[in-house]
Amino acid sequence: MMLLRPFTVLALGAFAAAALAVPPATPTPAAAPRTPGEIIAAAKPGDWVEIAPSDLLVMTLAPDAAGSPRRVIIQLMPAPFSQAWIGNIRALASAHWWDGTSINRVQDNYVVQWGDPNGDDGAKAKALPAGLAKTSQDDYATPRASGFGTWFPFLRDGNYAPHVGFKSGWPIGWDGDHAWPVHCYGMVGVGRGLAPDAGTGAELYVIIGHAPRHLDRNIALVGRVVSGIEQLSSLPRGTGALGFYEKAEQRVPITSIRLASELPAAERPRFQYLDTASATFADYATARANRQDSFFIKPAGGADVCNVPVPVRAVNGGAQTK
Amino acid sequence: MMLLRPFTVLALGAFAAAALAVPPATPTPAAAPRTPGEIIAAAKPGDWVEIAPSDLLVMTLAPDAAGSPRRVIIQLMPAPFSQAWIGNIRALASAHWWDGTSINRVQDNYVVQWGDPNGDDGAKAKALPAGLAKTSQDDYATPRASGFGTWFPFLRDGNYAPHVGFKSGWPIGWDGDHAWPVHCYGMVGVGRGLAPDAGTGAELYVIIGHAPRHLDRNIALVGRVVSGIEQLSSLPRGTGALGFYEKAEQRVPITSIRLASELPAAERPRFQYLDTASATFADYATARANRQDSFFIKPAGGADVCNVPVPVRAVNGGAQTK
């Protein structure tokens, strides 16, 4: 039997983790360790942070073959990350620009992508609203000077970032000078052409497979799906190159994409995420890294940042992550 | 711009990697670096290893709603890994035991699982063939003494294994004493009850999301899907607990599961995998870890073992991995 290794939190420079010391897992033979789900279920009301309606995008797809409605809800990232693209996304939603566009690409173990299917054809491309911001690849990562708080807890990585952790509810990489969001399952990013093109925000994708972390710092991440990802991840895979649908009729029509803040108050979805600075989140991350609940016999002693999904729940609904 | 870090190969003890020294990535401004796909396309015929028909399972599902056939092909792992379960799986296939069973569970970002939907109900469970081997959780990892060759190249991990690499075409973890297969996308494992139950092999699952590496050494892995995973990963998610289908009619009927070696010769699918001991595989892994081809601006300098999928191709067909 492998010995239990404590879950390591590294404190770096000014990013003192003392306020969130993650305790080593201490096996208590008398009581069964709590599962990550049990820890979330026991969170205090104050551990949950409400997501502003202006940070929620509501995507409505054409009904499925059985006539059932399909809705996907995306949370946009907070400052200081990716704000040029996110400003454009808010402008595109306010202009109802995505209405009548479609999901055009579903590549297995990779991405679902949507936008104007003729976006690469200058003659047929749908005109973008005026006033979109110019974006830059320099903003795929955010310099320390931009300010992203005084600390966040660090998990081990090993390949894609010197350090990884969570900031204001998001999985983040960090190299001492810059911080950047990372490509976990469900994260939403901005399609682009070859560099230095950095994309406008009109073409978006969501990760539906193993985290393609090699995309980190190579493309802008702007948000994550907080509800309805199964409406995207279960779509038929495209059979064209890169998973594009080969026939127009295979594309999934997008009825509308709206900011929740622009919906009538009674129609606004409400979501909360678990405060990643809370002791509850630390307990949850520790449990994810040291599964000792009934099914498990060998705790790993660590966790990939993408295997610690930030819990999100619908208000007056159930938790949205397993 | 981040400096390029060489892709590190660690040689441990008797596992000398000298024969497969992975060169550091040396940017050559004059020529565009090859993509991983270009490296695979240029592999020599001798870099490919034929998979024995006795190591291929052919799963035929009921046709989809449009009447299209659905076929999934699974490669079983070689000795010395998980052989008790794999022997049972061969016996179950030879007995046509899975015919008439079903896919019963599809949990988003996790697994698709199949077998007898009444397997947990003693009164209704389908009888298993006589003579199945007893399995043990002690065999989730294989001791060094069992012999698994003289070396394999190591990638960095950081959380789930002291070392990871590839052996005979498979992603493997290693702690100096034991080696074990790891839960990457597409890997197939054996459902089980609470420990010490280790499962018979009659209930199988495949990973359809971010690698749940915390399952490593907690459950038996027996193979991987080499063709048709999109037939499983795009199934509607189950809405019951753990993604089980709530209604019997939602289950996907399994028409048959056969060993390719028991099919008429003309009907046997043929597949090959890229020899993970070849220089071509080393070049491919290096390229995966240091993407410098046209789209990329910041190479990662490392790769998660599950982001270096072992290339598999159908003979007389195209490559099966992207």
A127-167 pLDDT per residue, tens: 999 999 999 999 999 998 676 654 456 688 879 998 899 98
With CA atoms as reference, the chain A residue closest to B156 would be A158
Does this model's pTM top 0.80? My answer is yes
pLDDT over threshold 90, residue B197: yes
What pLDDT sits at residue B33? 87
Q: What is the mean pLDDT of chain A?
A: 87
| A159–B155 CB contact, under 8 Å | yes
With CA atoms as reference, the chain B residue closest to A177 would be B2
Instruction: Show the DSSP H helices in chain B as ranges.
Output: 36-41, 83-94, 229-233, 279-289
| Among B108, B210, B236, beta carbon nearest to A184 | B210
Chain A residues with beta carbon closer than 8 angstroms to that of B235: 234
Rounded Cα distance, A248 and A251, in Å: 6
Rounded Cα distance, A240 and B319, in Å: 14
Rounded Cα distance, B237 and B315, in Å: 32
Rounded Cα distance, B174 and B191, in Å: 23
Per the CB < 8 A criterion, the answer to whether B60 and B71 are in contact is: yes
Q: Which amino acid is at B321?
A: T
Rounded Cα distance, B105 and B240, in Å: 9
Question: Which residues does chain A have with pLDDT short of 50?
Answer: 1-24, 27-28, 150-151, 317-322
What are the residues facing B74 on neighbouring strands? B57, B225
What pLDDT sits at residue B156? 83
In B114-133, which positions are buried (b, 16+ CB within 10 angstroms) versus exposed (e)?
bbbbebeeeeeeeebeeebe
What pLDDT sits at residue A153? 61
What is the pLDDT averaged over residues B295-312? 93
| B158–A160 CB contact, under 8 Å | no
What pLDDT sits at residue B19? 31
Q: Which of A103-107, B32-36, B242-246 has the lowest mean pLDDT?
A: B32-36
- Given pLDDT bands bounded at 50, 70 and 90, which one contains residue B20? very low
| B137–A218 CB contact, under 8 Å | no
Q: What is the pLDDT of residues B150-166, one digit of tens each?
A: 445 668 887 999 889 99
| A296–B213 CB contact, under 8 Å | no
